[in-house]
């Protein structure tokens, strides 16, 4: 693929992707350079030597853990963006096959569960959805990295909330009920001296809190759909014809080494298929045996020799 395949397709994607790629390393640097030394000071000249030495172990453990979370979060995000998950990765037929549909934009026959993304301008294998924070569609070959990205982003955000809360408590001289509204409006809280703490610390804690709920909620939804053997489109349409056992559904997305491949993004975890061939469990679950292919926001399907329009995402 050319460089254009990795670039945002519109202004919304550009802003969201820029925010993501800047926010993650900024939060990491804030954590290791400010939050961790605030909680466990080791270089404070006013601190007794034995206390500073005692703080060294938890400080370095905290920095190591934050670094591990950052590297995994960022690496999985980069792989989500750069791994090709389009239909060009598989051999495509030159004539129609059962369950396949013709994409009038890409000008080829695409497999079942593939959809054309109007933003990426490509047909994506087992397309789940378009993630504007990564400016990339989530499909068969990068879904594993997207799930790992959400896992580490959620854990990182929780760590950020907890560590920031501890640092704020220390800087403010103790717990206050004002912490709660200050997290929602950190800059105003600082201006009106509701929370006399550096607004950057409050803003970081506030962002981490919102990311925790956002990433955690999306991760929960993704886990539910994976266990059911559904893509987001199929989940919306209540289509459940490709689901197998829960373990088989997990293997389809995360690969055969699903139980530990999330630990590092470079651990090989081959998937059992190619993203193009899906023998359905029960065709009766689909309305009239329709193909689930999609073109942009709409999908073309063939039934009884006639082509008709089917709404999709």
Asked about 123 being catalytic, the answer comes back as no
Alpha-carbon span 173 to 63, nearest angstrom: 24
Question: Of 62, 120, 131, 261, which residue is the catalytic one?
Answer: 131
Residues 6+ apart with CB under 8 A from 20: 77, 133, 134
Q: Where are any strands of DSSP class E within the chain?
A: 101-103, 108-110, 115-117, 122-124, 129-131, 136-138, 294-295, 298-303, 306-311
Q: In terms of DSSP H, where are the helices of 31-123?
A: 36-39, 49-82
Decide: 44 and 36 in contact? Cβ < 8 Å.
no
Neighbours of 146 (CB within 10 A): 28
Q: Which residues are catalytic?
A: 131
């Amino acid at each position: 693929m050319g460089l254009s395949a990795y670039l945002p397709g519109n202004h919304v994607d550009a802003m969201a992707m820029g925010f993501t790629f800047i926010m993650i390393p900024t939060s990491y640097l804030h954590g290791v350079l400010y939050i961790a030394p605030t909680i466990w000071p080791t270089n404070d000249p006013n601190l007794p030597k034995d206390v500073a030495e005692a703080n060294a172990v938890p400080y370095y453990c905290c920095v190591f853990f934050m670094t591990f979370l950052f590297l995994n979060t960022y690496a999985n995000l980069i792989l989500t963006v750069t791994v090709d998950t389009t239909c060009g990765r598989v051999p495509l037929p030159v004539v129609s096959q059962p369950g396949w549909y013709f994409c009038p934009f890409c000008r080829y026959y695409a497999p079942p569960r593939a959809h054309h993304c109007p933003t990426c301008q490509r047909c994506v294998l087992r397309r789940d959805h378009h993630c504007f924070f990564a400016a990339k569609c989530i499909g068969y070959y990068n879904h594993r990295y997207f799930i790992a990205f959400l896992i580490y982003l959620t854990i990182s955000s929780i760590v950020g909330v907890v560590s920031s809360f501890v640092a704020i408590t220390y800087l403010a001289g103790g717990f206050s009920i004002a912490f709660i509204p200050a997290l929602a409006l950190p800059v105003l809280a600082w201006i009106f001296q509701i929370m006399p703490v550096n607004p950057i610390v409050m803003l970081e804690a506030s962002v981490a809190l919102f990311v925790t709920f956002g990433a955690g909620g999306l991760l929960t939804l993704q886990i539910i759909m994976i266990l059911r053997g559904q893509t987001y489109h199929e989940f919306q349409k209540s289509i459940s014809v490709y689901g197998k056992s829960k373990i088989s559904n997990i293997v389809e997305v995360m690969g055969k080494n699903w139980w530990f491949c999330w630990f590092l993004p470079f651990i090989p975890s081959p998937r059992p298929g190619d993203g193009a061939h899906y023998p359905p469990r029960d065709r009766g679950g689909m309305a009239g045996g329709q193909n689930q292919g999609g073109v942009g926001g709409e999908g073309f399907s063939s039934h009884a020799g006639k082509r008709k329009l089917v709404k999709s995402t």
